[in-house]
Amino acid sequence: MERFNIVFIETKNSKQSLLGRTAADFMLREFADFPAAESRIVKEEAMKAHPDGYYMKDAINVILTLDMPLLRKSSIERYVALLRMKKIAMVRLGGKDSASLISIGKADYDGIFVNDEDFLKIDDTKSYNMVYNLLKDRILDFHLSEGVRIVDKTTTFIDDTAKIEVGAQILPFSRIEGDSVVKRGASVSASFVRNSVIESEATVEMSHIVDSCVCARATVGPFARLRGAQISSDCRIGDFVEVKASKLGKGVKAAHLSYVGDADVGDGTNVGCGTVFCNYDGKDKHKTTVGSRCFIGANTNLIAPVVVGDNAFIAAGTTVTRDVEESSFTIGRVKQDTKTMTK
């Protein structure tokens, strides 16, 4: 069995972030189970100062800069086999002057060099763009092979850290970042999703979702924004609705043009157009609690902290400043006064 010594060199571009991970993260994960007798990470400056100090005479030395996130173990294994077959002492990976190489012992001459796609390194904005797009295609191809429906690879971006279940559908102009999960049967279209869960049969369309959960069969969008929101099953969050740090119960509907902030809203409640949960008094944030099966009329202002009981009805145009009892009717408009205009 071959005896390996592997040395990873930290460079200025090792920490470049691509699709949810740094370049170094991609490489270290790929080589986590590489059968090496020795495995080290060294600074670029240290390697330059003591270039001979990290080789092993009785081993195959694999020296890799941590700025090649496309690199795969299979490529290293292929070139190790080539060294043995062709009786070559060294192969440089990526170019004649590359610091990344494979050598048998400490070779005294340059040997050959190869410049496969795997050995593309991040040097500048142009190389970053090339590596990014090749890596993006690899990630998308993996999901396609697993049974995820991705309609247009060109306009779809999925971080390597995201999990997309078989049977999910990712439609054009979508970006899914961080620790997001899109479950079987869910659909995401033209939306930004970060660190969020989209559960089975939920639909997200042209929306911005961060640190949130959209439960089964809920629909979000178009043009909705969720921040730290818990959207329960069968909810409807419509156009130009923002939900921040709030939990909406089953079947809640906020169809359009509303802000729900720092709130708990009970099952089956309807939040009318133009409703604002007024959570900020200029200094502190306050909570609003709305019960189940309530009707919140259009252009209602709920001045937190306030509690609205179950089955309450709040008339359109009302500003609520005191708690509302269960099964009550609240109206807070100024009486209409219409006068004849004189010419």
Q: What is the pLDDT of residues 284-339, one digit of tens each?
A: 999 999 999 999 999 999 999 999 999 999 999 999 999 999 999 999 988 878 88
State residue 210's pLDDT score: 98
Taking only Cα atoms into account, the Rg of the chain, rounded to an integer number of angstroms, comes to 29
Q: Give per-residue pLDDT as tens, 328-340.
A: 999 998 887 888 8
| pLDDT average, residue stretch 217-242 | 98
Cα–Cα distance, 247 to 284 (Å, whole number) = 20
Q: What does the pLDDT read at residue 110?
A: 65
- H or E stretch including 237? strand 236-244
Region 232-261 average pLDDT: 98
Within a 13 Å sphere around the CA of 6, how many CA atoms are in the beta-carbon half?
21
pLDDT over 70 (residue 108): no
Whether 116 and 102 have beta carbons less than 8 Å apart is answered as no
Q: How confident is the model at residue 7 (pLDDT cuts 50, 70, 90)?
A: very high
Torsion angle in degrees (nearest 10) through CA of 198, 204, 208, 210: -10
Q: Does pLDDT of 2 surpass 80?
A: no
- Flag whether pLDDT at 111 surpasses 80: no
Residue type present at position 89: A
Per-residue pLDDT reduced to its tens digit, 64-88: 999 999 999 999 999 999 888 888 8
Q: Is the pLDDT of residue 226 over 80?
A: yes
> pLDDT confidence of 37, banded at 50, 70, 90?
confident
Kindly provide the residue ranges of all beta strands, DSSP E only, lying in 105-229, ordered along the sequence: 112-114, 149-150, 156-158, 163-164, 169-170, 174-177, 181-182, 187-189, 192-194, 197-198, 203-205, 208-210, 213-214, 219-220, 225-227
Whether the predicted pLDDT of 1 surpasses 60: no
pLDDT at site 113: 87
State the catalytic residues. 256
Q: What is the pLDDT of residue 57?
A: 85
Q: What token pair was written down for 15?
A: 């920490």
pLDDT of residue 125: 96
- Judge whether residue 130 has pLDDT over 90: yes
Q: Residue 106: pLDDT above 80?
A: no
- This prediction's pTM: 0.92
CA-wise closest residue to 6 among 146, 131, 101, 97: 101
Identify residue 125 by its one-letter amino acid code: T
Element (H, E) at 45: helix 44-49
